[in-house]
A and B are shown apart, each in its own frame.
Chain A
Amino acid sequence: MNDKLPRWVDLALIPLINLILAFLVAGLVVVFIGEDPIQAVRLLLVGSLGSSYGIGFTLYYATTFVFTGLAVAIAFHAGLFNIGGEGQAALGGIGATLVCLAFDWPHWTLALPFAILGACLFGAAWAFIPGYLQAKRGSHIVITTIMFNFIGAALVVYLLVNVLKVPGSMAPETRNFAEGTHLPFMHEILGVFGVAISKTPLNLSAFLALVGAFLTWLLIWRSRLGYEMRALGFSEPAAVYAGIDPVRVTIIAMVLSGAMAGMMALNVVMGFQHRLVLDYVGGAGFVGIAVALMGRNHPVGVVIAAILFGILYQGGAELAFDMPNISREMIVVIQALVILFTGALENLVRFPMERLFVKSGTRTG
């Protein structure tokens, strides 16, 4: 399979062509709607990268997608397709919220470690059950994680409406967190050093996302557990023959994946909204699938892909404002095309490439 192709073709050229195809089709959709795609791209880039305001929002969205993208990538390495990021992130939100509401925290530095613990624990718990059922009972992880998205959504609505809601209020959201839990915003952090940027939701979590990406890299390529995960993902019989316990590795991979998805709560709930609102995840769990596929499940790729999706989210909002014919759903279409071309239709490019390179190179088979 892979040994037919030079490494650079496999790792760089094919994903790039797939991505270009996805954006070409997206451009055709824009033409079909009757707008100028070049102008649309220009507006998108100006809206997302043209000012410190735009960049702040872009990186804020990107932070969220790094967490959900890494979550999908970690599970992928162990051969598991975790579609449950949406539900795990929703539960992570509950975990972080409970920590933030539990005490009148004096300072965010004290609240942060416990909030991380809460978000990770709840996100991990929601991934543990599908992981356990896959490992022990052979229930297909894709189906169970889909089901757990729906069950999680219902559970969060129940908790918000019946338990966590402000008494007497109609809105299904919690009370505001105490000042002492608010993570510092980037404009505040940079303000200390005398750098003035626009006020945006971008906050300390952006650094946590980078730490998360680094730890994921350490885990996957520099640890024994990561080796076991990749071996299991590559071939289960071979992994078992090598003495790897598939039950243990499957469950651990899912738990780590769910914890990473839960971490997005820090960025959105603790970093920006300062309260838990209904459906705070808003599809970010699913964006993680596109981000992981596009980033080839490598932390560096995930960070790059997450920034690209941040650009799409922020720029798309500005674009919808300037070109009313292109509504925000265009982002969902692009997301779908990225998943389709870099994931499902990957062989559209790979097969001709293999033919090309096998013909020109020496035959080994």
Chain B
Amino acid sequence: MDIDVFVQLMGSSLRLATPLLLACLAGLFSERAGIFDIGLDGKMLAAAFAAGAVAAVSGSAWLGLLAGIGASMALSVVHGLASITLRGNQLISGVAINFLASGMTALIGQNWFHQGGQTPQLTADSRFLGIQLPFAEGLSSVPIVGPIYSNFISGHNILVYIALLTVPLTWWILFRTRFGLRLRAVGENPGAVDTAGISVVVQRYQAVLICGLLCGISGAYLSTGMSAGFVREMTAGKGFIALAALIFAKWKPWPALGACFLFGFLEAFGIRYQGFTIAGVTVPVQFMQALPYILTVVILAGFVGKAIPPKAGGQPYVKER
């Protein structure tokens, strides 16, 4: 494999990893605070639709992004209401949110644009396009460093860089701020946090809203960054791969980057080399598609290091009276 092909493959891995990474970090905030979220996919889908629709109507990708975040956070509020205030089953709430997004986007999309649930094709200026970092042109002729810089590091749209910056930011918030300490504490031992006079409810709502914000960016990236418009079911289970990546990364931000990049790479590799042959055996495309899920099951089964979720995850907190 020559260097150009390899760099291109890495570049597309990064682009495919971006929505996973944003959704994965979204889940990380929520689950670290003790709220399981299997509705990541639904929130992404709702955001992708809202972003695509608003960008098409207004002509502004940024307004689209805001709309996407709004739609996603609205679903977060529903999830928060169900799992924090009403102490309902968080998993069932997540399932409901996935179906709600799937049905509503298709229903409203068909009703609004009459294009079989799609939003109109976006023009170049209502999308997030790749940006050339400084010196990308000039350096591209330099061997090795040149192609890596101009094809792997430079040339992505702004949301890719935002996603990458979210990783250290998440690490800093969770492990270097008082807010982060409390957030992790309500996910491990909410009773102790409550005893210290801090509201578990407020803390958990904040986490769930951050989760909505990041899922919103992730969804907007799908419809206004990676492609030019919304298509029905366009998340195609990406929210679940993000969930898988979160477990794979054992609920930590930097490993989340690694896991998402790995899953992005598997997808990019699968697209580029459909049915490749290794040691005389042709590996089916379907195997490559299933690989992230298989890897996650292996990790979950604890055969390769144990994945231990936050202790109070999934349990509603009942304040003592």
**Partner-B contacts on A (CB < 8 A):** 29, 33-34, 81, 83, 129, 133, 137-140, 142-144, 146-148, 150-151, 154-155, 157-158, 161-162, 286, 289, 293, 325-327, 329-337, 339-340, 343-348, 351
Contacts and interface: CB of A to CB of B under 8 A. Distances in A.
A25 B264 CA distance: 38
Given A133-B297, A142-B91, A150-B293, A345 B38 contact: no
Contact of B102 (A140, A155, A293, A329): A329
Question: 6 closest Cβ contacts across the A-B interface?
Answer: A332-B103, A344-B93, A336-B99, A333-B103, A343-B92, A154-B290
Interface stretch (B6-14, B76-84, B182-190): B76-84
Contacts of B289: 150, 154
A126 to B, nearest CB: 12
Contacts of B300: 133, 137, 139-140, 143-144, 147
A162 B283 CA distance: 12
Given A143-B243, A146-B243, A347 B87 contact: yes
Contact of B286 (A139, A157, A345): A157
Given A155-B286, A344-B82, A345-B88, A327 B106 contact: yes
Contacts of A33: 107, 111
B96 A344 contact: yes
Contacts of A129: 297
A348 to B, nearest CB: 6
Interface residues of B, number: 45
A148 B297 contact: yes
Given A289-B95, A335-B99, A336-B103, A147 B293 contact: yes
Contact of B309 (A81, A140, A325): A140
28 contacts: A137-B302, A139-B297, A139-B300, A139-B301, A140-B309, A143-B296, A146-B38, A147-B240, A147-B293, A147-B297, A150-B237, A150-B240, A151-B290, A151-B294, A154-B290, A157-B286, A158-B287, A161-B286, A327-B107, A329-B102, A329-B106, A331-B103, A332-B106, A333-B104, A343-B89, A343-B93, A344-B93, A347-B86
B75 to A, nearest CB: 11
Contact of B107 (A29, A158, A339): A29
Given A140-B309, A143-B243, 16 more contacts: A33-B111, A137-B301, A137-B302, A144-B297, A148-B297, A155-B290, A162-B284, A325-B110, A326-B107, A332-B102, A332-B103, A333-B100, A336-B98, A336-B99, A339-B95, A348-B86
B247 interface: yes
Between A137, A162, A327, the greatest number of chain B beta carbons within 10 A of the residue's beta carbon is seen for: A327
A351 to B, nearest CB: 7
Contact of A146 (B86, B90, B240): B240
Q: Which of B110, B243, B247, B294 lies at the interface centre, i.e. has the most chain A CB atoms within 10 A of its CB? A: B110
A344 B99 contact: no
A201 B203 CA distance: 53
Q: Which of B83, B88, B237 has the most CB of A within 10 A?
A: B88
Given A143-B247, A162-B284, A333-B104, A327 B91 contact: no
Contacts of B44: none
A154 B88 contact: no
A69 to B, nearest CB: 14
Main DSSP-derived SS at the A contact region: helix
A142 B95 CA distance: 11
Interface string B175-217: 0000000000000000000000000000000000000000000
Nearest to A287: B99
Contact of A147 (B111, B286, B296): B296
Chain A CB within 10 A, most for which of B100, B237, B301, B302:
B301
A174 to B, nearest CB: 17
A339 B99 contact: yes
A333 B70 CA distance: 20
Contacts of A155: 286, 290
B96 A340 contact: yes
Contacts of B293: 147-148, 150-151
Interface of B: 38, 78, 81-83, 86-93, 95-100, 102-104, 106-107, 110-111, 117, 237, 240, 243-244, 247, 284, 286-287, 289-290, 293-294, 296-297, 300-302, 309
A329 B290 CA distance: 27
B100 to A, nearest CB: 4
Contacts of B87: 347
Given A325-B111, A343-B89, A335 B103 contact: yes
A164 to B, nearest CB: 14
A76 to B, nearest CB: 10
B252 to A, nearest CB: 17
A144 B298 CA distance: 10
A331 to B, nearest CB: 7
Contacts of B294: 147, 151
Contacts of B103: 329-336
A147 B88 CA distance: 24
Nearest to B107: A329
A131 to B, nearest CB: 12
A327 B38 CA distance: 26
Given A143-B247, A143-B300, A343-B93, A330 B82 contact: no
Nearest to A83: B95
Select the residue from A148, A331, A344 with max chain B CB neighbours within 10 A.
A344
A29 B289 CA distance: 36
Contacts of B86: 344-348, 351
Contacts of B297: 129, 133, 139, 144, 147-148, 151
Contacts of B309: 140
Contacts of A336: 96-100, 102-103
A259 B266 CA distance: 33
A34 B107 CA distance: 12
A28 B289 CA distance: 39
Contact of A138 (B88, B100, B302): B302
